[in-house]
């Protein structure tokens, strides 16, 4: 069974439209956890376009009321980011090679070029007990997985954005699923855990699950929030969990 971690970036972005405290990021976190989500994911970007530094501390407090659920904090390993996660102590840190100016996360790590950086950062994160996952392009294959393993990471997160973009091209979706499945199998053989995320939806998730077995955690936010605008967060969480189970 793949666990669902709900990404709250989009809720924070809606809140930030006005200088008002609603929609409440912590309130939605409590709602999705009560509905059965295994955890919460956030990506506090340097410009605080959505998740703010204060949200990360507030959500860590919420997670303390839900033993067994996990807090996953994503970001580029800048000194500011590393200082934040050293204070908050999330269960998992997902390292992403994002430039501050990027509109969204749109590629994984070059594990060879960034080997030294990643090894040092992962050692620091392990020092305060975090599990470390590395954002990974779908087509890195065995060589890329071996390089990821060499950094000391615990998991890779399959970047499913290219697959999610195939919503009108079934043939390309099949090719993307083939790449994702090959990289996931290589990761499992190398003793790495496998997470997944970016542009997963109720429409594409079951085909992903069928093609890529053994994914430990899917972090889903944008589409789940869009669904929640129609059916509510509790029902949306239940629908995604049903597909992931």
Ligand X SMILES: CC(=O)[C@@H](O)[C@H](O)COP(=O)(O)O
Ligand Y SMILES: NCC(=O)COP(=O)(O)O
Contacts with ligand Y, residue ranges (CB under 6 A): 7, 41, 157, 197-200, 219-223
Residue 7 labeled ligand binder: yes
Among the listed residues 24, 104, 206, 245, the single contact to ligand X using CB under 6 A:
104
Partner touching 155 among ligand Y, ligand X, none, CB below 5 to 8 Å by kind? none
Binding mask 6-25 for ligand X (x = CB under 6 A): -x-x----------------
Look up 43 and say whether it is catalytic. Answer: yes
Residue numbers 68-97 binding ligand X by CB under 6 A: 74, 96
> Of 41 and 151, which CB lies nearer to ligand Y in the complex structure?
41
Look up 126 and say whether it is catalytic. Answer: no
Partner touching 51 among ligand Y, ligand X, none, CB below 5 to 8 Å by kind? none
**Cα radius of gyration rounded to whole Å, the chain:** 17
Residue 26 labeled ligand binder: no
Look up 198 and say whether it is catalytic. Answer: yes
> Of 9 and 183, which CB lies nearer to ligand X in the complex structure?
9
Give the CA angle between residues 84, 46, 76 to the nearest 5°. Answer: 65
Q: Which of 70, 157, 176, 198 is catalytic?
A: 198
Which residues participate in catalysis according to the annotation?
43, 74, 198
Residues contributing to the site for ligand X (CB under 6 A): 7, 9, 43, 45, 74, 96, 104-105, 135, 197-198, 219
What residue numbers does the annotated binding site for 3-amino-2-oxopropyl phosphate cover?
7, 18, 199, 221-222
């Amino acid at each position: 069974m793949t666990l669902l971690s709900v990404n709250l970036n989009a809720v924070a972005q809606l809140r930030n439209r006005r200088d008002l405290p609603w929609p409440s990021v912590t309130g939605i976190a409590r709602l999705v956890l009560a509905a059965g989500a295994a955890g919460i994911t956030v990506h506090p970007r340097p410009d605080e376009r959505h998740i703010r530094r204060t949200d990360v501390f507030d959500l860590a407090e919420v997670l303390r009321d839900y033993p067994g659920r996990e807090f996953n904090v994503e970001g580029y390993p800048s000194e500011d980011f590393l200082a934040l996660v050293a204070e908050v102590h999330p269960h998992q840190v997902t390292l992403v090679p994002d430039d501050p100016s990027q509109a969204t996360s749109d590629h994984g790590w070059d594990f060879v070029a960034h080997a030294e950086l990643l090894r040092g950062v992962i050692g620091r994160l392990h020092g305060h007990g975090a599990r470390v996952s590395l954002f990974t392009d779908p087509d890195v294959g065995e060589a890329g997985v071996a390089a990821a393993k060499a950094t000391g990471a615990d998991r890779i997160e399959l970047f499913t954005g290219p697959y999610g973009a195939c919503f009108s091209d079934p043939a390309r979706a099949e090719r993307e699923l083939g790449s994702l499945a090959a990289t996931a199998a290589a990761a499992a053989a190398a003793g790495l855990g496998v997470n997944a995320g970016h542009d997963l939806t109720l429409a594409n998730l079951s085909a992903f699950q069928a093609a890529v077995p053994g994914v430990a955690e899917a972090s889903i936010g944008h589409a789940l929030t869009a669904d929640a605008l129609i059916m509510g967060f509790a029902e949306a969480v239940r629908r995604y969990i049903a597909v992931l189970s």
